Structure 1
Amino acid sequence: MTFLQAPRVIRTGASKLASAPLSAKFGIAVVTLYVLTALFAPHLAPYGEAEIVGTQFEPWSAQFWLGTDNLGRDMFTRLVFGARNTIGIALMTTALAFSIGASAGLTAATFGGWTDQILSRLVDVLMSIPQLIFALLLLSIFGTSIPTLVIIIAVLDSTRVFRLTRAVAINAAVSDYVEVARLRGEGPIWIMTREILPNIAPMLVSEFGLRFCFVFLLISGLSFLGLGIQPPTADWGSMVRDTATLIVYGDITPLLPAGAIGLLAVGVNMVVDWFLHSASGLKD
Structure 2
Amino acid sequence: MRSRPASVLAAASILAIVVAAVALSAWIAPYDPAGQDLSARLSPASPQHWLGTDHLGRDTFSRLLEGGRFSLTVAALATVLTGAIGTAVGVLSARRGGWLDEFLTRTNDVFLAIPEMVVALFLVAMMGSGFPALLLALTLTGWTPFARLARALTYDVAARGFIEASRVLGCSPGFIIRRHILPHLAGPLLGQATLRFGQFLITVGALSYLGLGVQPPQSDWGSMLAAAQPFALRSPLTILAPGLAIFAVALCVTVIGQHVAKGAGNRLPAADTRSAQDA
The TM-score range, normalised by the shorter chain, is: 0.7 to 0.9
How far apart are the structure 1 equivalents of 2:258 and 2:83? 19
Conserved 8 A contact 1:149-1:228:
yes
Equivalence map 1:2-21=2 (5 Å): 15-16=1-2, 19-21=3-5
Identify the residue that residue 271 of structure 2 maps to in structure 1: none
* Secondary structure of the corresponding residue to residue 243 of structure 1: helix
- The 5-angstrom pairing of residues 168-187 of structure 1 reads 168-187=153-172
Aligned to 1:114: 99
Alignment counterpart, residue 214 of structure 1, candidates 199, 223, 231: 199
In the TM superposition, what is the alpha-carbon distance from 1:42 to its structure 2 partner?
1.4
Out of 189-198 and 73-82, give the one that drifted further.
Answer: 189-198
Gaps of 5+ in 2: 268-279
1:166-187 deviation per Cα after TM superposition (whole angstroms, max 9, x unaligned): 1111111222222222223333
Q: Which residue of 1 aligns with 2:124?
A: 139
Give the alignment of 1:213-232 within 5 angstroms.
Answer: 213-232=198-217
Select between 225-234 and 259-268 the one with higher mean Cα deviation. 225-234
**TM-score normalised by length of structure 2:** 0.87
2:26 is the alignment partner of 1:42: yes
State the TM-score, normalizing by the size of structure 1. 0.86
Q: RMSD of the alignment, in Å?
A: 2.0
Query: 1:278 Cα deviation (Å)?
Result: 2.5
Contact 1:102 1:162 (8 Å CA) reproduced:
yes
Give the one of 148, 158, 176 matched to 1:191.
176
Q: How many residue pairs are counted as aligned between the two chains?
A: 266
Residue by residue, what CA displacement relative to the aligned partner does 1:46-96 show, whole Å, maximum 9, x if unpaired? 122323344543333333222222333211101112222211221111111
Q: Percent identity?
A: 34
What secondary structure, in the 3-state scheme, does the structure 2 residue paired with 1:58 have? Answer: coil
Is 2:35 aligned against 1:51?
A: yes
CA distance in 1, matches of 2:10, 2:110: 40
Q: Is the 8 A contact 2:208 2:214 kept in 1?
A: yes
- The answer (yes or no) to whether the contact 1:209–1:268 under 8 Å persists in 2 is yes
CA contact (8 A) 1:246 1:252 kept: no
Aligned with 2:15 (options 31, 34, 40): 31
1:22 counterpart residue number: 6
Q: 1:153 aligns with which of 138, 143, 158?
A: 138
Q: Is the 8 A contact 1:139 1:227 kept in 2?
A: yes
Which residue of the partner structure matches residue 228 of structure 2? 243
Counterpart mapping for 1:255-266 below 5 A: 255-266=240-251
In the TM superposition, what is the alpha-carbon distance from 1:260 to its structure 2 partner? 0.9
